[in-house]
Chain A
Amino acid sequence: MAVPKEFLYSDDHEWIYVSEGEATIGITDHAQSELGDVVFVELPEVGKEYDQFEDFAVIESVKAVSDIYLPVGGKIIEINEELIDQPELINEDPYDKGWLVKVEIADEAELDNLMDSEEYEEYLEEGE
């Protein structure tokens, strides 16, 4: 399973990439593989605000419905509209074309609650 070095990770298998107070968020390669074929994505409205670890989106595979949790609190500033017609991008390219939302981070200190790539790799191994 791919685990890019420059991202941070949550226990619920979301990734976050931070650049100048702005975060891009998605689900990990492990998460998409566990879900199977993604066939539906429900994203929040731009402008909505969420707390850290609050559920903000829903991803459905053929079999399962999963809530997705925001790895950091803040305001939604952009959503990946491509996913509405091409939810399979989450399976095909979870770390790039399959991103979900961009967030204006409320409090960068919350990033300390997340794992770096090494910690996440260990976390995945423990879960095996």
Chain B
Amino acid sequence: MNKTPLTQIHHDLGAKMIDFGGWEMPVQYSGIISEHRAVRNQCGIFDVSHMGEIIIRGEKATSFVQKLIANNAARLQTGGILYTPMCYPDGGIVDDILVYRTGDKDYLLVVNAANTDKDWQWIQKNRIKGVETINVSDDYAQLALQGPASRDILQQLTEINLADLVYYNFKEGKVAGTKALLSRTGYTGELGYEIYLSPEDAVNLWESLFSTGEDYGLVPAGLGARDTLRLEKKYCLYGNDINEETNPLEAGLGWTVDLTKEDFFGKERLLKIREEGLTRILAGFKVTGRGIPRHGYKITAAGKEVGEVTSGSFSPTLEENIGLGYIKKELAEPNQKLSILIRGREIDAEVVKTPFV
């Protein structure tokens, strides 16, 4: 199994470790609920070194990136970041990724850990002349510092003026004496930063953040809390809510698809889908009966199957059971009553507006 530079630290902290897409990762330390609340109220730090990184550079870098992604990279200045699906020609999603514009003809793609090899092969297969691609996943560790106190903690360790670093932008500079890329992004919906750095500096940064963050209530947080935090904000999780069989329009990611830009993989098909209209939509619901929705459970209305749960959990913020699922379009409106089929019983649920929190 792959290890991050912080694996030993997680063990020492008594974390529960799991296999996540071939990586040995911490799922929780003190407990998912307390870690979740720490991130919403103070600050948490996540080891997300498993994420993949791919460089695309060269004369034709911009047109190649534009061909790969559904969002519009022409909107990016150097220092800007874009969230985007990367689609197959049939509109299915290869991966959802972040595109960092690191220079005029330089991009860094940050991809999901479990998809790194698949994405790399897809990119290689479609590479055009005038473009160099490098899989640099092994050259980066990544820490995500998330929560209302994140700026105050991080500012003490860097010369970069964080007040100037706006959402979905990044800067390169020193953090705790180490060269790093500092990105105002995250997967929790809180004020937060993602810090990319060389693997050999990761332990040092982790420890520096803790000694500074102690007074602010900083705690280590695992993938369990990361999942409940993102679910409350309706951020899609690849492999759960989106995959090769779903398209970005039905996933509610229409805002990341620019159908007016030059050709890209999936454009033709997505235009057709838009013209024909969607049949199902990824909607949020809460369970009003007793039960927790889980990935794969059926959604029913008047005894008939009308959808399937893609993500579900107890929400530590709302203290209710919530979920996401693809639901027939005409039933995917807030206040619509539905049922979730849990262990053979129909449990009452209701479509709600998202994000949940």
Contacts and interface: CB of A to CB of B under 8 A. Distances in A.
B28 A39 contact: no
Interface stretch (A12-20, A44-52, A55-63, A72-80): A55-63
Contacts, number: 39
A7 interface: no
B5 interface: no
Contacts of A42: 290-291, 343
A62 B291 contact: no
Interface string A1-44: 00000000000000000000000000000000000110110100
Nearest to A87: B314
B339 interface: no
A36 B343 contact: no
A37 B292 contact: no
Q: Size range of the interface on A?
A: 10 to 19
Contacts of A37: 31-33
Nearest to A62: B32
Contacts of B142: none
A40 B290 CA distance: 8
Nearest to A65: B294
B116 interface: no
Interface string B227-248: 1100000000000000000000
B292 A40 contact: yes
Contacts of B316: 62
A60 B314 CA distance: 10
Contacts of B343: 42, 58
B314 A40 contact: yes
Contact of A60 (B27, B28, B32, B292): B292
B16 interface: yes
Interface residues of B, number: 18
B313 interface: yes
B186 interface: no
Contacts of A62: 32-33, 224, 228, 313-314, 316
B314 A39 contact: yes
A63 B32 contact: yes
B83 to A, nearest CB: 26
Contacts of B28: 36, 63
A60 B291 CA distance: 9
Contacts of A63: 27-28, 32, 224, 227, 313
A37 B228 CA distance: 13
Nearest to B27: A63
Contacts of B290: 40, 42, 84
Interface string A60-94: 11110100000000000000000010000000000
Contacts of A58: 343
Interface in A89-112: none
Contacts of B32: 36-37, 61-63
15 contacts: A36-B16, A36-B28, A36-B32, A36-B224, A37-B31, A40-B321, A42-B291, A42-B343, A60-B314, A62-B228, A62-B314, A62-B316, A63-B32, A63-B224, A63-B313
Given A63-B224, A63-B227, 11 more contacts: A36-B28, A36-B224, A37-B31, A37-B32, A39-B292, A40-B321, A58-B343, A60-B292, A60-B314, A61-B32, A62-B314
Task: Return the 5 tightest CB-CB contacts between A and B, nearest first.
Answer: A39-B314, A62-B32, A37-B33, A37-B31, A40-B292
